Chains A and B, each alone.
Chain A
């Protein structure tokens, strides 16, 4: 496997002076292409901050971050936006869909933004992804009319729309019941195996973490352990 991304000595400090809070304290991590990894750790350990930096939505205070051989620290906002659109997908805890759009429109958003319009090819891929998520009957539904589990599956489909190299999922099942959570994890695992998409999933839930082949422990802003769960 080739290296997808690598961080070295990432430091992230929020605030200044006495109010300064150091969340990441020299975190180093390497992810190989095609991995499915869980990010484990207590609240405040720095998991969300790490995902945000890996997703190029925020820059660290110091440290190095490379993905696909490109320096993510030196890149400007425009370059990072284009890179994010092409190579990174997101799944948030609260699905974060666009409420005034249908399921299909939400899914094809990343492709439409890139092309400047909703192409027939994007619509076709969006339908295929939604069908794969078991939402064939909900394709043209407004997202407001979907259940929590359905919304999260739409969010997964959206994250996969541009066939990204990396999908970052921050507590993707944290807001779902057990059955829905397992359904979402089954889909993620299936896509990881079949398409080789790399997943990094932040979770508190060890049962969810157990579905991943690699577990990365984070505590006090550094990687403390890489336990292998059964």
Chain B
């Protein structure tokens, strides 16, 4: 059908102004499609990075032991045993699992931790604190602690403690000064403030303390094992699948971040649905534009179609000429719109550098290929009706026009 292609191209180039206008219309639709893709995708990234970015993507916690049934003889009243408020369960074999978990594809970092509650005392000042013991050197594996450090360093070690800004201020504590930490088990340690962080979250900055894992063992009387393992992934959207894989591999209860984040997921889904609707409207606009332009072209070229039919051109030849025109308009408009969309997105900061107050556009989520493909398909579909109308032109009446 090379010849039909030539005719289609000739028809498009015969009226360059009209074709340019048509291609521009399609390009604008594709531009909107790409802009919406980048905005919706970027917004989702932005929201996730702000809400989940600093959290563990997969968390493994020790399962509570089943309470012993104290009275099990028939005819007796059963006693309901409530779980204690202090965690006692441990992942005793954590050391065994860690290399396996680190080897799972997509796992970026693994942080074994011992967590617990305690009190910080400095003079007359006392503050309740949530203590996290981490492996020195892995302080920033999950939460980017070093990134939030405003004074000192995030590095934990023997006799060192890292506190939030609000907590340090409440205790009137400066870098290098000492503070007494008493764990919920009553074990006390005298520690030196080595770093102060500020995340902007009151719960973090006012009640969290980071110490080394070995110090946490001492404080919480846990000579082996850990209380939880936090895992960071390359792609947080892969959390469900990766958690399933870790569960299958280790038998541990690996919980993805999406568990318990249903509302966030619903909001993101709603946002994505909004994006689909807007993109669908953009595509519909393209289809209507191409269809109406080709319908007009069909009407204008009725006498020529009649001549072609009289000269021996079959209906399929005529259909091919007009469908090819639609496809070419879609392709040209798609590529132009995609290029314009890419250029328009270039000035926006990258996804790693989103700043508050600016549109979180993600240039990598422009769906350029999809936009071009859907546009070409849409334009072809749009041209089928005019093409069929053209193929049904009666050569006798058309030539007589």
Contacts and interface: CB of A to CB of B under 8 A. Distances in A.
A57 to B, nearest CB: 5
Contact of B310 (A82, A84, A99): A84
Contacts of B308: 98, 109, 113
Interface stretch (A114-122, A187-195, A210-218): A114-122
Contacts of B304: 98-99
A113 B1 CA distance: 9
A3 to B, nearest CB: 23
A60 interface: no
B3 A113 contact: yes
What is the interface of chain B mostly: helix, strand, loop, or mixed?
helix
A158 interface: yes
Residue of A58, A97, A98, A101 with most chain B CB atoms under a 10 A cut-off: A98
Contact of B311 (A77, A100, A109, A116): A109
Contact of B399 (A81, A92, A112, A116): A92
Contacts of B315: 77-78, 81
Contact of B10 (A57, A100, A114): A100
B204 interface: no
Given A57-B395, A96-B307, A109-B308, A81 B313 contact: yes
Contact of A110 (B10, B14, B312): B312
A82 B1 contact: no
Chain A contact residues (Cβ within 8 angstroms of B): what range? 20 to 34
Contacts of A115: 3
A101 B10 contact: yes
Given A92-B399, A98-B307, A113 B14 contact: no
B2 interface: yes
B3 A86 contact: no
Contact of A86 (B2, B10, B312): B312
Nearest to A78: B314
Contact of A55 (B3, B4, B310): B310
Nearest to A95: B307
Interface in A64-87: 77-78, 81-82, 84-86
B310 A116 contact: no
Contact of A90 (B6, B14, B310, B317): B310
Contacts of B3: 112-113, 115-118
B119 interface: no
B11 interface: yes
A100 B11 contact: yes
B399 A117 contact: no
A109 B312 CA distance: 9
A86 B312 CA distance: 8
B321 to A, nearest CB: 11
The 4 closest A-B pairs by CB, nearest first: A85-B312, A100-B14, A117-B2, A112-B3
Interface of A: 52, 55, 57-58, 77-78, 81-82, 84-86, 90, 92, 96-101, 109-110, 112-118, 158, 162
Given A101-B10, A116-B1, 19 more contacts: A57-B396, A77-B315, A78-B314, A81-B313, A81-B314, A81-B315, A82-B312, A85-B311, A85-B312, A86-B312, A96-B307, A98-B304, A110-B311, A113-B308, A115-B3, A116-B2, A116-B3, A117-B2, A118-B6
